[in-house]
Amino acid sequence: MVCGRISRLSVRDVRFPTSLGSHGSDAMHTDPDYSAAYVVLETDAEDGLQGYGITFTLGKGTEVVVCAVNALAHHVLNRDLRDIVGDFRGFYRQLTSDGQLRWIGPEKGAVHLATAAILNAVWDLWAKQEGKPLWKLLVDMDPRMLLSCIDFRYITDVLTEEEAYEILQKGQVGKKEREGQMLTHGYPAYTTSCAWLGYSDDTLKQMMDANQRWDVPEAVEWMSSLAEFKPLWIEEPTSPDDILGHATISKALVPLGIGVATGEQCHNRVIFKQLLQAQALQFLQIDSCRLGSVNENLSVLLMAKKFEIPVCPHAGGVGLCELVQHLIIFDFISVSASLENRMCEYVDHLHEHFKYPVIIKNASYMPPQDAGYSTEMKAGSVKKHQYPDGEVWKKLLAAQGN
């Protein structure tokens, strides 16, 4: 039973000095310190449960997101959790449409990352109170209730609530079997770090990531000349804002057998809607911490299903694997009902800081069994890595003479 009034929201700037070993560096992000704005929600309920939420960042800028979380906090404090989840669409709209704050978005950049962190904490709290892992909370939820969490504003030209309902109703068929399949075999993973899980060298060669380096003509030219290596996809070939650019690149590369994959920096459902409308991608990479939490990701999963585009989530970073596994397992059980051309990114990194780290078996994500959204970090890790006052940073900054 959901209960309690949100009595406290705290947010911390937690950074891991990954730039020291160049972990996670890519063509555009050369020195990331994998970090998170980490939100904790407390209630006045007797159960003493707390909700934990994160959004992922790369170091500098985390303090900006923390500031944005604090700017949104007044929408959350003193709210009854029943009222929030009873009209989750309304609550989502309240956070994303604040008459003053939306100017610095809307639904993009720091303020949307902050929204994600807060709502991820709400979902964690809700799932904990229901005593279920988040994926199971979603799988068991009445379809009408689930749809009431989604803000359909700006996407009804592609997906109405009624169409979404039909998709979920169809997803009821065979659901039990698929849940059993997940519990036994898990969801297939692939890794982008040096250790590849259960994949051959051939598979390794099949992935290419451009990290937004190219303009549209360059992307077409480079990938055409690399076609002989038969890459499965080219990831982020150009600006994440360039829907028409991705469409042009797709049109040129699909005949060569190369798909376009993007999404980790696509900032909201309106961008994903257009990528689908324009046939601009062949693999859709949702992100659990850039979109407006589960609420907005649900709308993207449903749109992807309508267009029959496989979802291959972005993960890695700090906690992205822990969170996104819930979404993709729900997607398989209740929405897509397919594993064809699908896999979820995995990076073997920083899981030791989480209280409920991912479990990988036979190159697959095994469905989490603990209640919640797997977002809770170990108290000791948070304390040590708080920026700039945690032990780890005090030492590093002293060594740098700052």
Residues near its own copies, by CB under 8 A: 28-33, 56-61, 63-65, 67-68, 71, 97-113, 153-157, 212, 215-217, 238-245, 248, 265, 267-268, 270-271, 273-274, 277-278
CB of 393 to its own copies, least distance (A): 14
CB of 251 to its own copies, least distance (A): 13
Nearer to its own copies, 155 or 303 (CB): 155
CB of 233 to its own copies, least distance (A): 20
What type of residue is 371? A
CB 318 within 8 A of CB 350: yes
Nearer to its own copies, 34 or 330 (CB): 34
The torsion angles phi and psi of 143, rounded to 5 degrees, stand at: -55, -40
Nearer to its own copies, 11 or 141 (CB): 11
Nearer to its own copies, 130 or 264 (CB): 264
Instruction: Output the CA torsion sign for 285, 290, 294, 296.
Output: negative
Strand order in the sheet with 6-15: 6-15, 35-43, 50-57
Closest CA to 139 of 107, 185, 171: 171
**Residue 258: helix, strand or coil by DSSP?**
coil
Tell me: cis bond preceding 17? Omega within 30 of 0 counts.
no
Nearer to its own copies, 54 or 232 (CB): 54
CA angle centred on 68, ends 21 and 379, rounded to 5°:
55
CB of 155 to its own copies, least distance (A): 8
CB of 45 to its own copies, least distance (A): 28
CB of 158 to its own copies, least distance (A): 9
Instruction: Output the CA torsion sign for 218, 224, 225, 229.
Output: positive
Nearer to its own copies, 96 or 364 (CB): 96
